[in-house]
Structure 1
Amino acid sequence: MNTLLVPLDHTASAEHLLAYANKLAVRWPAEIVLLYCQTPAADAASPAADLTAEEQRLRSLVERLRYQQLTRQDGRRIRYHYRVLSGCLHDHIAAEVARCAAQLVVMSLEHVDCGRQEAPGNHAAAIADLIACPVLVVPPGRRSLPSRLVFSADFSTLPLHTLPRLSALAEAFPGTLDLVQFYAPTDRRQRLPLKQAQTRALRQLTWPNVQTHLLEDEAPLEGVSEFCARQQAQLLIVAPASRAELLHYFDACYTTTQAYHTRIPVLVLRSAGTPAQAVCCGKCAERLTHDDGAVAALSHFHPTYHA
């Protein structure tokens, strides 16, 4: 049986996240492990009682959505497990993924951790950096499961062993899949090797309907957002080469302007690579600090988990 690990909080988007996970669990099919992490209050009289109350709160949410959203047969088909822990999500997530052998973590874009609000996407980037299984980041709002998917990556450097993990999700996300590779105008001579890399990646994927696209663009992230908009994509798959590159997808410049790729679910594949050194604009560079806390050159600034 496939397993979805779904970290929940008490934001307004938690209900939409669970509703999306329910649909996914029925289609795949899969069982759902609900994970809630709570930082204990300093004046808490009984921390154990607080955790028990939170588990009951989760159970009430599950039962309400099970019969409001799903048919009776589908609602009974899903098996739920509950994990309520004391502490921060990023302290427990790796152990919980291993404990339940999760194939996919489904989390909200605006997840609240440790009792404070982080910039949208920062938690997702931190979680994806801690675990090996794919992470599906779901923005707020009600939505149906995707039938049009876009996979954007640098296929010339993407390790092929990453792709079988993606193919394992083909039953969960059936539909048309577009592989898109962007290259800079200065790399036009590399078109043939890039096309060959796309072909090698294509052989590792099990989707029945896959198309490849090799596009020239100086700004790949803006390019993929525009490409997703043209294709009316409902799911974007990315394999960032570094955590900084993943943070770039959810940068405030894009969330504030509601760029297309921030309004659809993003599936993050863990991929080894070299650290990214660029930011999208000067304002972001001024706002962010280097991981070691020292002020760096403008082109070396990138978001951090505590930014």
Structure 2
Amino acid sequence: MNTIARIEIDWPSLGLTVTADLDDRNAQLAQALLDVLPYRSLQGHALVAGYYLYHVTPVHSVFHLPTPHRADRRTLPDGTLFCSRLQHFGIKYGTLTEPMPATPIGQVDPADLDTLAEAGRAAWDSVYSSKKPVIAEVRHAGRPGGHNLPRLTATDPIADQLIADVHTETTRAWLEPPTELLDLHDGRIRSGAGSYGTTMTTMLFVNGESRPLGYSVYGGLIKAASEQLPMDALRHMARILAGTPGEFLAYCGLETLGHFTARLLACLDRLDNRDDFIAVMAHMALYVHCLGGWNLQLFPWHLGEHLRTQPEPR
């Protein structure tokens, strides 16, 4: 493999930085990441897969770029970098258990693997127990950092205004938890969602609905559009797939997402331009992924501390 560029991943609040080389195993993915640098994002940690860091990356094209090299993450060395169609920039720093084919784009410098593991442990503590957010910054090696969320455009003015509004709200929520999620996790839900006054069930359902809405619905629609599915079929599938989860999440407290969903459904007939369709869906996907990241950060995972995997009987 050949090196494309060197980058740095920095966690300012932790005082930790690692350097990595991007390579040409999935060259277009690596270049797409380079094109949006520098940026900052809420640092997440895998909750079921093992020792794995990830954050949402603002690469709109990740859903449809070619990925010629795929491999089982479990078999790749610690420090491997990944960019996935879940719109995640991920780093393996230890044993993984999930057999997921993934798209590697680079490798952390071997000299920085201990620092990477330290960052991984701190990120796990952030997500699982302390709830103090950790922000990651990704930048060109040796260059200044910074942050910017790219904005796509649409030729249709109604669609472009929706993109602008979703982009503004995504920017607002990117590095600070959105008020609606804070309210939900504090038990303030205007609709009264939650049978017998419980909030845990509502928080759980928000997590269960928001992740596939971003990954499967909006990500799937973008992928289908890039593969030239007819526009009538794309609009029809958008109505079928996006409406119900958007309405349900609004009932659970994510009212801004509900308003954006309603506007999206109302302007679908105007989206006869494939690029417009992809642009709108890409911004909806990024917004939902942003909400999903914060929901995972705020969720009280520590309440399950007594629930532990058991050794298999001999």
Of structures 1 and 2, the one scoring higher in RCO (CA 8 A, sep 6+) is: 2
TM-score (norm. length: structure 1): 0.25
TM-score (norm. length: structure 2): 0.25
Could you say which structure has the higher helix fraction?
2
